Chains A and B, each alone.
Chain A
Amino acid sequence: MSGLPFHRRKSTRLAVRYAIAGLLVVIFCFPIYWLFIISFKTPEEIFAFPPVWYPESIQFDNYKVLFKDGDAVSVLNSLILASSSTLIAMVLGTIAAYSLVRFKTGGENLAVWIISQRMMPPVAIVFPVFLLYVFFGWVDTYFGLILLYTAFALPYVIWMMRGYIEDIPLELEESALVDGCTRWEVLWKVVFPMARSGLFATAVFTFVFSWNEFLFALVLTRTEVMTYTVQVTHYFGGQSNFWAKIAAMSVLGTIPVFIAVATMQRYLVRGISMGAVKG
């Protein structure tokens, strides 16, 4: 038996837990810190040994180069592609999911077939898609990539939204129908607000998937709509790697996702725990 009073033992245990948690946070956050800090370093500091843990002065030259050379446009491209495909996939996917849930469109099999699209390894269709896109002249166009990303996102959106819509009490929709709404109005005035947390959570994930997509972007883009993921790889050279550019570009690519997740965090956490008022 320990001689310490109960509350002392308890606080010691708590202190140990915090220490472990703190250590883990440091370990996991260090690469991100390192990425940020490199982007602000001068070339000498980047290759200095022993490493410079924190630079004497913050300088933005690495970023200035990216904007001057026009490389930063790739972040804008990614933004356009990811947001457009997310928006289209959310609208179409939610409507499709509603139809699956309420009208049992296609029975159980259609829903399973839709999600099964997600299980195919993307690399298996890279070549066919490339040939198809060459044939249609969609390579290196916004339209081509938005179409592709929307198609990739749809099964996920439909599958997720199907779950959220199933949670909406049928009575809420029926009440709206009796009160004078059309089906479209029900979708707009009842289903969307009721599934709001789910909508945002799904949208964030869809956005992040499209944002991080690399394989198809690499194959299907050339110069016009190069995404930031492809752009970053251009700095890995045969002779040397441009660490400063890699770091700065990676930071630029991280910020939009960081903002998206931070602003939607509330909904991501609340997730499914909503639901209607019941007695």
Chain B
Amino acid sequence: MSDLKITGLHKYYGAYHAIKGIDLEVPSGEFTVLVGPSGCGKSTLLRTIAGLEEPSQGSIEIAGIDVTWARPRDRDIAMVFQNYALYPYMSVGDNIAFGLQARKTASAEIAKRVARAAEMLGIGPLLKRFPRELSGGQRQRVAIGRAIVRDARLFLFDEPLSNLDAQLRDDMRVEIKRLHQELRRTMIYVTHDQVEAMTLADRIVLLRDGRIEQQGTPLDLFERPASLFVAGFLGSPRMNFMPVSLEPGVAVLGDGTRLPLTATARTGRALLGLRPQHIARAAGALAPGHARALVTVELVQPTGTRVQATLPLGGVSIIAELGAHEVSAPGERIEIDLDMTHAVLFDPTTERVI
């Protein structure tokens, strides 16, 4: 049973075509992340689901009921906004209770649910305070609390963490994930941050230019990207792309380096994608499907646990993620090992995977 079903959705703002035909089904209880660069239509899609925007074409069903033209209040949804949307003239407790009061819930029930939500989010002692007295992280907790007290069918999050600083964002991400595991509710989460998408999602829906580029589990998208765009969007540091010419079983780099390929009979020009973590310092015997190359380190960026080394290879600069002590300074000459079993090939014109 799916909680949300979107069919043939289009949205125009005047002449601007923001959503260009989206079909999407979200199974019950799943955490779905809509991710993509700014302007890809992810927020518009979420707002259309919420009923804050009217679709130009297509239909939306929530829990099997067509709500395409229903008012937001009739959709059984709860939503967390980027700027928290807390009412400054109400205490934290009243803010959380707002949705229940608007729906005329009995006051004993309201008190019970507010207390439970506050406990889940660790904001119990703050209920009497006002939003202006809270830190950014606390405000976002209240905003989430306001959504979860409502026993809604669908929980929508519109970039809820993008106003928080990095450390707090990590903490709140954990919090949201834990909340989903406890509540087991259908959640749809919009973000432009691929780390958030990867870590939170049961399923990622990657949007580009008003269309769904690819959807699936995070690992699915990460390991089997359907296009150059998906491959480049997910993962940090991003995937390396090298222009190659294909020969049966071999990819030849611009400088003549020959890299072995598993199972491709195609010839001609292509883009070879290889993630930084699949490039290592060469050690021991050459494993099957691997290749080696001698390179001079251009740039070194230590992250503490690993070091990101920029290396010239086949006419382009690539990044390798090496062990923290495996490379010390630029100018060093090292031999690298490329794990070609993880390589992905893209058609340079269609940008789809080969």
Contact = CB atoms under 8 A, between A and B. Distances in A.
Interface of A: 169, 171-172, 174-182, 185, 189-190, 193-194, 196, 274-279
Contacts of B79: 174-175, 178
Interface in B77-107: 77-79, 81-89, 98-99, 102-103
Given A179-B98, A196-B89, A277 B84 contact: yes
A279 B150 contact: no
B144 to A, nearest CB: 12
A178 B83 contact: no
Contacts of A169: 83, 85
Contact-residue bracket for chain B? 20 to 34
Given A171-B83, A277-B131, A279-B163, A176 B98 contact: yes
Contact of A179 (B82, B84, B139, B150): B150
6 contacts: A171-B82, A178-B73, A178-B78, A180-B102, A193-B87, A279-B163
Contacts of A180: 73, 99, 102-103
A199 B77 CA distance: 32
B50 interface: yes
Contact of B136 (A182, A190, A275, A279): A279
A182 B73 contact: yes
A172 B75 CA distance: 18
Given A174-B81, A196-B89, A279-B84, A181 B163 contact: no
Interface centre among A174, A182, A196 (most CB of B within 10 A): A174
Interface of B: 50-52, 71-73, 75, 77-79, 81-89, 98-99, 102-103, 131-132, 136, 139, 146, 150, 156, 163-164
A177 B52 contact: yes
B85 A172 contact: yes
Contacts of A276: 83, 85-88
Contacts of B71: 177, 182
B142 to A, nearest CB: 10
Contacts of B52: 174, 177-178
Nearest to A179: B99
Q: Which of A179, A194, A279 has the most CB of B within 10 A?
A: A179
Contact of B102 (A181, A194, A275): A181
A194 B85 contact: no
Contacts of B139: 277, 279
A175 B102 contact: no
B194 to A, nearest CB: 22
Contacts of B77: 178
Contact of B78 (A179, A181, A189, A196): A179
A194 B81 CA distance: 18
With most chain B CB atoms within 10 A of its CB, the pick from A171, A189, A275 is A171
9 closest A-B pairs by beta carbon, nearest first, are A179-B99, A279-B163, A180-B102, A175-B85, A171-B85, A277-B131, A180-B103, A177-B72, A180-B73
A193 B72 contact: no
Given A169-B85, A178-B51, A276-B83, 9 more contacts: A178-B99, A179-B73, A180-B99, A190-B87, A274-B88, A275-B88, A276-B85, A276-B88, A279-B84
A171 B85 CA distance: 6
A67 B38 CA distance: 72
Nearest to A276: B88
B84 A174 contact: no
B87 to A, nearest CB: 6
B102 A185 contact: yes
A36 B87 CA distance: 46
Contact of A172 (B82, B87, B156): B87
B94 to A, nearest CB: 11
B92 to A, nearest CB: 11
Contacts of A194: 87-89
A278 B83 contact: yes
Nearest to B164: A279
A27 B88 CA distance: 43
A23 to B, nearest CB: 41
Contacts of A181: 73, 102
Max count, chain B CB within 10 A of own CB: residue among A177, A182, A185: A177
Nearest to B105: A180
B82 A178 contact: no
A77 B180 CA distance: 63
Nearest to B133: A277
A181 B136 CA distance: 26
Interface-central residue, B75, B82, B85, B146, by most chain A CB under 10 Å: B85
A277 B98 contact: no
Nearest to A275: B88
A7 to B, nearest CB: 38
Contacts of A189: 98, 102
A201 B103 CA distance: 32
Contacts of B146: 175, 179
A276 to B, nearest CB: 6
Contacts of B136: 279
Contacts of B150: 179
A253 B98 CA distance: 44
B160 to A, nearest CB: 11
B50 A178 contact: yes
Chain A CB within 10 Å, residue with most, of B77, B78, B83: B83
A189 B73 CA distance: 15
- Of A182, A194, A278, most buried by chain B (CB within 10 Å of CB) is A278
B50 to A, nearest CB: 6
A193 B85 CA distance: 14
Contacts of B132: 277
Contacts of B81: 171, 174-175
